[in-house]
């Protein structure tokens, strides 16, 4: 079980930076989606329907692997440029294990790692006790 009370996730549909604040340092773990261009081409050769089904399965697996890493947190910040954060938020909201967890999603522009860290620290100053 994760002992971190705050976790931030900068994400899109292909990768997620899961960041935990540990002793005033931000530790980052990267999770990648298995649905890449090569997988899309393989599935598309079979049919467009197969491609969409494969994409849906792999995206769900990607979101679930991120969700596992958030387990035990009391405060979660999801941010990024795409709708991926909202899709993950919907999955989290349906999971009873996250009923007591404060989860916030925020739309941002594309960010460097330093900008992500600054965004997290700013969020913590404004919103977390």
- Give residue 89's domain range: 6-127
Give me the CATH number covering residue 17.
Answer: 3.30.420.60
Q: Is 1 a member of any domain?
A: no
Closest CA relative to residue 109, chosen from 4, 9, 10, 5: 10
pLDDT in tens, 89-113: 999 999 999 999 999 999 999 999 9
Provide the pLDDT confidence category of residue 46 given band limits of 50, 70 and 90: low
More confident residue, 104 or 4: 104
Please state the rounded mean pLDDT for residues 78-84: 95
63 pLDDT exceeds 80? yes
Instruction: Assess whether pLDDT exceeds 60 at residue 33.
Output: yes
Query: Would you say residue 114 lies in a domain?
Result: yes
69 found inside a domain: yes
In this structure, is residue 41 part of a structural domain? yes
Asked whether residue 104 is domain-assigned, the answer is: yes
Question: How many structural domains is the chain composed of?
Answer: 1
Local structure of 13: helix, strand or coil: coil
User: Is there a domain that residue 67 lies in?
Assistant: yes
| 49 found inside a domain | yes
Residue 39 to residues 14, 45, 55, 77, 84: CA-CA distances in angstroms? Answer: 12, 10, 9, 30, 19
| Amino acid 59: pLDDT | 84
Q: Phi-psi bin for 81: left (phi > 0), alpha (psi -120 to 50), beta? A: alpha
């Amino acid at each position: 079980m994760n002992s971190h009370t705050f976790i931030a996730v900068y994400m899109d549909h292909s990768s997620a930076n899961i960041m935990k604040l540990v002793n005033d340092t931000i530790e980052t773990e990267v999770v990648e989606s298995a649905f890449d261009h090569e997988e899309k081409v393989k599935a598309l050769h079979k049919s467009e329907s197969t491609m969409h089904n494969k994409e849906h399965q792999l995206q769900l697996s990607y979101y679930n692997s991120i969700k596992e890493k958030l387990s035990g947190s009391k405060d979660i910040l999801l941010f990024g440029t795409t709708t991926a954060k909202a899709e993950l938020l919907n999955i989290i909201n349906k999971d009873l294990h996250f009923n007591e967890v404060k989860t916030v999603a925020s739309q941002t522009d594309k960010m460097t790692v330093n900008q992500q860290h600054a965004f997290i620290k700013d969020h913590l100053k404004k919103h977390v006790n």
